[in-house]
Amino acid sequence: MGDKTLDIENVYTAYDKADVLEGVSLSVRPGRITCLLGSNGVGKTTLIRSILGLTAPREGRITFGGRDITGMSTHRVIATGIACIPEGRKVFPKLTVTENLRIGAYQVKAEAAIRERMNEAYEIFPRLAERRSQLAGTLSGGEQAMLSIGRGLMSSPDLLLIDEPSLGLSPLFVKENFNVIQRINERGVTVFLVEQNVRQTLAISHYGYVLGKGRVVAEGEPDTLTDNEEVNQAYFG
Ligand SMILES: Nc1ncnc2c1ncn2[C@@H]1O[C@H](COP(=O)(O)OP(=O)(O)OP(=O)(O)O)[C@@H](O)[C@H]1O
């Protein structure tokens, strides 16, 4: 059960000279689904890269459970209990479903623990259990999305970062995957959900932030965000 807060304080991140993130601050509280909404190119993935130590912030601070993880190597960030499901899913196409899941548990030594987690993943995704020996590259897009979530769960994370899970999926799979994210959260995993799909994301979130160009332009409970005129302006305008 996750009990650690992820705190992002005044983070500036740049790839070359120009800052993509210009002083982002937000909190992902334990046990909740917190979402970050924003249109193309505002810096959502860059924020995830900053958390994971893939692109270190040039200024600001990121802490997880009070521990400073700013600019830490990705390997060490993951060891603190954070897992990430990247945009575009990225399963290993030539490996089976089971082999893909095992990769998610690469930091786990005990075979019994790996088995237990795998059974849990198959319980959450019966559709994957039926296809456990199938090559991941032959799964449908929606099934690959499930597999990438399942793989993220194999490290038993406290916090799951999910980057645009609805991207390129049919409405039915989007609905199914969002249901799964909600169920995973009910099992005690804290979720930071980065999305463009406003309505469905807010429907499952406890709290939300809206990223404008490089900075947070609004935050609040889902109800207040749906009706907020400024949000609609910033987001769609
Ligand atoms: N490796 C990189 N090198 C240079 N610029 C980059 C790099 N990655 C992203 N950018 C730029 O940073 C900006 C923000 O990109 P980012 O991927 O964080 O946005 P996003 O909000 O996740 O967008 P999308 O929803 O389209 O994925 C964009 O202008 C992008 O071109």
Separation of CA 46 and ligand 1 centre (Å): 6
Q: Whose CA is closest to atom 1 on ligand 1?
A: 15
Residue 237 above 60 pLDDT?
A: no
Smallest CA separation from ligand 1 atom 30, residue: 41
Split at pLDDT 50, 70, 90, the class of 89 is: confident
Query: 40 in ligand 1 pocket by Cβ < 6 Å?
Result: yes
> Rounded to an integer, what distance in angstroms lies between the CA atom of residue 1 and that of residue 187?
8
Give the C-alpha separation, 220 to 18, whole Å: 29
Q: How far apart are CA 108 and CA 105, in angstroms?
A: 5
pLDDT of 43: 93
**Degrees, nearest 5: CA angle 44-169-32:** 50
The answer to whether the CB of 42 is under 6 A from ligand 1 is yes
Instruction: For residue range 7-66, list pLDDT tens digits in order.
Output: 999 999 999 888 999 999 999 999 999 999 998 889 999 999 999 999 999 999 999 999
Residue with tokens 């059960």: 1
Residue 230 DSSP one-character state: H
User: Is the shortest distance between the CB of 38 and ligand 1 below 6 Å?
Assistant: yes
What pLDDT does 236 receive?
A: 56
Q: How confident is the model at residue 3 (pLDDT cuts 50, 70, 90)?
A: confident
Q: Is 135 exposed, middle or buried (0-12, 13-18, 19+ CB in 10 A)?
A: middle
Ligand 1 contact, 168 CB (< 6 A)? no
The answer on pLDDT for 229 being more than 80 is: no
- Residue position matching structure tokens 């937000």: 26
pLDDT digits (tens, 9 = 90+) for 33-46: 999 999 888 999 99
Contacts of 70 (CB under 8 A, 6+ apart): 56, 57, 60, 61, 62, 63
Q: Read off the pTM.
A: 0.91
Q: What percent of the chain has pLDDT over 70?
A: 96
Q: How much of the chain exceeds pLDDT 90, in percent?
A: 70
46 C-beta closer than 6 A to ligand 1:
yes
Domains delineated in the chain: 1-81+158-237 (3.40.50.300), 90-156 (no CATH)
Cβ of 44 less than 6 Å from ligand 1: yes
What's the 99 CA to ligand 1 centre distance in angstroms? 31
Position 194, amino acid: V
| 138 residue type, one letter | T
Amino acid at residue number 93: P
